Amino acid sequence: MATDLKSWAVKFKNLSDSDKALSAMARYYTCTYMWDMGEAKVIIEMLDGKVRNINIDPAPLDAYDFALRASAQTWREFARPVPRPMFHGIWAASFRHDLTMEGNILVMMQNLRNFTLQFEMLRKCGVPV
Amino acid sequence: MARHSPVSGRYVTIDVDGMEYKVFYLQNGTGQPLICQHTAGCHNHQWRGLLEDEEITKNYNVIAYDLPRHGKSDPPHNSRWWESEYKLTADHYVNFILKLCDALELRDPIFMGSSFGGNVALQLALRHPDRFKAVIPVEASDYAPGFFLDWWRHPHSNAAQVCASGTWDLMAPQSPEMDRWLTWFYYSQGSESFKGDLYFYSVDHDLREELERIDGRKCPVIMMTGTYDYLTTPEMTENTARRIKGGVYIEMEDIGHFPMSENYPVFKIYLKEALRIIHERKG
């Protein structure tokens, strides 16, 4: 069941800010990224490992470093507690399904460890689509 | 009292295509030689579960080596290797394995490798079927494009973590957390070699026109792939095995691209089946 955007953002921020694995390498985890889930888009702003802001209604020119885009159905698959094969990560879904990675991919690579951890938090907090 | 492992490590120096390599290998067990190749950009700790498995080592002499430029095996000692970009070729990889087996005096060994190790197992079955009792290509296929990327060795990012986190979702979510993070840790150590290994894996290795020349009745080819492997999918492996005379395909449920390292107890179930088939066919 889709969670409404506002409560999802609160849940996600709390999960991320309290995550021990992410906190173990929090310093310099500073970037801004978009998750385009088809029916909803969010821009998540990270500052030294903490969620500084989640923009749940991005305007056309709101900036971000990089984006993940996929259909709402694909994002729902990501959010299963144990995702099915080929929906179990961003690389898997970009190779085998409709996920695309766009924008400044270098920034994503520079922050890949923590970004990967955050992506997997969707299995706990769900997706707002 | 100290808790010593039965596994021991040793070096052997060999010459391959003019390169002098001091090769490190771990060994445990007696009986049928089972020589194991780790995955690209990694090292022989991936085989830690197998090396200490008494059920296997009571009948198999398990040898897990570090390919040169990986783990405790240095780059060549007689070459200014830092002056060129490392790119592993099929010819050199095969020649290395043959020289190592000869140096260790392995008679009728079974060769098992994963990922690029699985792909070279297919090369060995094609080029030198008489040298090996059988091959077990794990997470392998005739052709595996798409992974020879600059990102693995980019000077503007933390290459160690790109290699480690970039291979994270090659593993199944069901695999134990400790074993996935250990595999992550190993991958953080191999960023100088990962991209060069993948030259073999994604570029130089291409057996799409050669599979029919492999005779799995002479040298059994037992292929195994995990259902969570997005890079070499179960379908790719099955299609490869189907085109090899006598080829066998075993699908491994709920496991990924590093099965022996991410979840050894599950991998072992399928490995035992592969070894049983080989024993049945070759004794």
Q: Where are the domains of chain A?
A: 5-124
For residue B168, the chain A residues in CB contact (below 8 A) are 89, 116
Q: Where do the DSSP E strands lie in chain B?
A: 8-16, 19-28, 32-37, 60-65, 110-114, 134-138, 222-226, 248-252
Could you tell me the CA-to-CA distances from B274 to B92, B107, B116, B269 in Å, in that order? 27, 19, 19, 9
Q: Do B158 and A110 touch (CB under 8 A)?
A: yes
Q: What is the CATH number of domain B8-282?
A: 3.40.50.1820
Q: Do B157 and A88 touch (CB under 8 A)?
A: no
Mean pLDDT, residues A81-93 taken together? 98
For residue A68, the chain B residues in CB contact (below 8 A) are none
Tokens 């050669």 belong to which residue? Answer: B210
Mean pLDDT, residues B144-156 taken together? 95
The alpha carbon of residue B77 and the mean position of all alpha carbons in its chain are separated, in whole angstroms, by: 24
For residue A82, the chain B residues in CB contact (below 8 A) are 173-174
pLDDT at position A29: 97
Strand order in the sheet with A41-47: A50-55, A41-47, A31-36, A66-69, A100-103
The pLDDT tens digits for B50-64 are 999 999 999 999 999
- Tell me whether strands B19-28 and B110-114 are parallel, antiparallel or unpaired: unpaired
Please report, for chain B, the start and end positions of each structural domain, with discontinuous segments joined by +.
8-282
Q: Do B169 and A113 touch (CB under 8 A)?
A: no
Q: Where do the DSSP E strands lie in B98-253?
A: 110-114, 134-138, 222-226, 248-252
Helix (H) or strand (E) holding B163: helix B159-166
Residue from B180, B191, B201 nearest B157 by CA:
B191
Q: Do B228 and A96 touch (CB under 8 A)?
A: no
Mean pLDDT, residues A73-91 taken together? 98
Measured CA to CA, the distance from residue B240 to residue B243 in angstroms comes to: 6
Q: How close is the nearest chain A Cα to the Cα of B146, in Å?
A: 9
Residue from B26, B23, B32 nearest B51 by CA:
B26
The pLDDT tens digits for B156-181 are 999 999 999 999 999 999 999 999 99
Mean pLDDT of chain B: 98
**What's the whole-model pTM score?**
0.97
Measured CA to CA, the distance from residue A52 to residue A64 in angstroms comes to: 13
Give the list of residues 6+ apart from residue A3 with CB closer than 8 angstroms, or none.
A11, A125, A126, A127, A128
Structure token pair of residue B250: 């075993």
Q: Do B169 and A86 touch (CB under 8 A)?
A: no
Chain A residue with minimal CA distance to B157? Answer: A110
**pLDDT confidence bin for A1, thresholds 50/70/90:** very low
pLDDT of A2 above 60: no
Strand order in the sheet with B248-252: B8-16, B19-28, B60-65, B32-37, B110-114, B134-138, B222-226, B248-252
pLDDT at position B283: 86
Give the list of residues 6+ apart from residue A37 with CB closer than 8 angstroms, or none.
A70, A72, A75, A127, A128, A129
Mutation for A interface: B141, B153, B163, B165, most A CBs within 10 A: B165
Q: Do B154 and A109 touch (CB under 8 A)?
A: yes
Measured CA to CA, the distance from residue B221 to residue B241 in angstroms comes to: 8
CA angle A5, A78, B180 (to 5 degrees): 130
Complete DSSP assignment for B77-91: TTS-GGGS-----HH
For residue A89, the chain B residues in CB contact (below 8 A) are 168-169, 230
ipTM of the complex: 0.95
**CATH superfamily label, A5-124:** SCP2 sterol-binding domain (3.30.1050.10)
Q: Do A82 and B173 touch (CB under 8 A)?
A: yes
Chain A residues with CB within 8 Å of chain B CB: 82-83, 85-86, 88-92, 95-96, 105-106, 109-110, 112-113, 115-116, 123
Measured CA to CA, the distance from residue B50 to residue B43 in angstroms comes to: 14
Chain A residue with minimal CA distance to B167? Answer: A91
**Which string of b and e fits A16-33 if b means at least 16 CB within 10 Å?**
beebeebeeebeebbbbb
Q: How many residues does chain B have?
A: 283
Number of H helices, E strands in chain B: 10, 8
**pLDDT confidence bin for A3, thresholds 50/70/90:** low
The pLDDT tens digits for B66-81 are 999 999 999 999 999 9
End-to-end CA distance of chain A: 8
Chain B residues with CB within 8 Å of chain A CB: 146, 151, 154, 156-158, 161-162, 164-166, 168-170, 172-174, 227-228, 230-231, 233
pLDDT at position B65: 98
Strand partners of residue A53: A45
- Tell me whether strands B134-138 and B110-114 are parallel, antiparallel or unpaired: parallel
